[in-house]
Amino acid sequence: MTKYIIKRVAMGLLSIFIVATLTFFLMNMVPGGPFVAEKSISKAAQEALASKYGLDKPIFERYVTYMTDFLKGDMGVSLRQRGRTVSEIIFSKFPVSAGLAGIAVFVALCVGIPLGCISAYNRGKLSDNIIIVLGTCGIAIPSFISSVLLLYTFGSRLNILPTIGLNDAASYIMPVTALAIYPTAYITRLMRSSLLDVMGQDYIRTAKAKGLSSFVTLFKHALRNAILPVVTYVGPMLASLMTGSFVVEKIFTIPGLGREFVSSISNRDYTMIMGTTIILATLIIAANVIVDILYKVIDPRIKLK
């Protein structure tokens, strides 16, 4: 087990290195630069800025400089947000997005798993049909529509929920809902189909023949087998939500990492692009390692090699 984790962490570090390298060269291949778009800056000033940040040097030299600095824990200064380092920006905004994502995924699990169970258990009945329709809507409706609908209904019309920022508990409700709708619907569908599959297995018949109640059969014998696909899905889903959602953060005016992600790219803020990409890659790799370990815990047949 320990050997396996060490191996996976080593492989993860290699993946992060590859991602960083690819991102570095790709973003430099894209035309434009951090100071090009601003017309008010004179040619001479642009060159001065470029040389100040070392952008006038050959690309390979810049790559080596960035990577050595990165290994020392220095992700550089933001090219567009004057006077702020990349780590400073990420560490001030990441907790906001991560907290929001954590709550959203928790809600999605708490709602999605029971709904999936109810749906599978009442297969073909009215409750199943209602859940299927709601689930399909949840998957089909993009977050910018659900966010705006929520904002209009509860913020503007009913005027019962705050519309801006994350100042108190109530202000979390709408952004968390907007973020949780898609994963909830997805988990419900995964749970339903997986549970239907498991309920048809021979060992469920054995459990019934033992005289166990449907409750014990479902929760002890079926759920543990049926939950694996959900675990697989939730890991990477949590990782990508933690780095923030541009749409939801923009609509609810939340100072999260999602906006930095998008704006760093359109601004050609090279150091920020590198920082946010590396954070996302790290989270996804970590989530996958955790999922694999959880797999082993849930299903003893799985061998970690």
**Contact positions toward other proteins, by CB under 8 A?**
201-203, 205-213, 221, 224-225, 298-301
Cβ contact 120:198 at 8 Å:
no
Phi, psi dihedrals of residue 77, rounded to the nearest 5°: -100, 155
CB-wise, 53 or 121, nearer to other proteins? 121
CB-wise, 102 or 229, nearer to other proteins? 229
**Nearest approach, Cβ of 213 to other proteins (angstroms)?**
6
CB-wise, 139 or 216, nearer to other proteins? 216
Q: CA-to-CA distance for 42 and 48, rounded, in angstroms?
A: 10
Q: CA-to-CA distance for 249 and 258, rounded, in angstroms?
A: 7
**Nearest approach, Cβ of 177 to other proteins (angstroms)?**
34
- Sign of the torsion formed by the C-alpha atoms of 185, 187, 190 and 196: negative
**Nearest approach, Cβ of 298 to other proteins (angstroms)?**
7
DSSP string, 110-150: HHHHHHHHHHHHTTTSHHHHHHHHHHHHHHHS-HHHHHHHH
Task: Encode 120-139: b = buried (16+ Cβ within 10 Å), e = exposed.
Answer: bbeeeeeebeebeebbeebb
CB-wise, 84 or 224, nearer to other proteins? 224
CB-wise, 31 or 211, nearer to other proteins? 211
**Nearest approach, Cβ of 212 to other proteins (angstroms)?**
7
Nearby residues of 284 by Cβ (< 8 Å), 6 or more positions away: 236, 239, 240
**Nearest approach, Cβ of 124 to other proteins (angstroms)?**
10
CB-wise, 226 or 257, nearer to other proteins? 226
Cβ contact 230:187 at 8 Å:
yes
**Nearest approach, Cβ of 226 to other proteins (angstroms)?**
10
